[in-house]
Structure 1
Amino acid sequence: MAGSEPEATLMHFTLYSRTYCHLCEDMFNALNALQTPEKPFTVEVIDVDADQALVAKYDELVPVLFADLNEPELCHYFLDVDKVRTLLSK
């Protein structure tokens, strides 16, 4: 459309988590604290306990964070703030 601004690409994070996991809640909250109006993103939380294949893959690692699933794992247990900020600055 003439005169319209190009849409910014919205970063998408996937957080593999489980219910009643304080580390999972901490990572989710720390990640969302990095969101700004200039750099919005979405976060999909997936409960690993809902899928035995995910339990087998991530059981002892949760929380595990990915960006856009095409990226390698960003971090597990604790949020790597520097990695997330680097991704958001692109």
Structure 2
Amino acid sequence: METKTLTLYHREGCHLCEQMVYALAPLSQELDFVVEPVDIDNDPALRQRFNEKIPVLMVGEDVVCCHFLDEKALRQALTDG
């Protein structure tokens, strides 16, 4: 099975973002994924798109969850993909 890459849109100093990173850590080995963090403040288009929604976790082009980790949605996205 191929390791999947998830994209986590975040910003520095965001406590919800830090909580999501912490919540994802134990699942990454079990579900075989890596997280690619993207700071939205480095890209005006991303900042406009995600400013009030971060953290935003995506699998491919699909949003899995915003603000808080939805483990059920993540598991579903990884098995559907």
Same fold by TM-score, threshold 0.5 exceeded?
yes
Runs of 4 or more off by more than 6 Å in structure 1?
Answer: none
Q: Is the helix fraction higher in 1 or 2?
A: 2
Give, as a single letter, the amino acid of the residue that structure 2 aligns with 1:52.
P
Q: Which protein is bigger by CA-based radius of gyration?
A: 1
- Deviation per CA, 1:29-85: give whole Å up to 9, x if none: 11122123x532110000000010111100010000001x23x21010000111112
Q: Is the strand fraction higher in 1 or 2?
A: 2
2:14 pairs with 1:21: yes
Q: List runs of 5+ in structure 2 lacking aligned partners.
A: none
Q: List runs of 5+ in structure 1 lacking aligned partners.
A: 1-7
**Paired residue for 1:87, among 63, 77, 80?**
77
Task: Provide TM-score, normalisation by structure 2.
Answer: 0.87
**Matched-pair identity in %:** 40
**Paired residue for 2:36, among 14, 32, 44?**
44
Give, as a single letter, the amino acid of the residue that structure 1 aligns with 2:3.
L
Alpha carbons 2:11, 2:40 under 8 Å: kept: yes
User: What is the match of residue 61 of structure 1?
Assistant: 53
Matched length: 80
Q: 1 CA distance for matches of 2:22 and 2:16?
A: 10
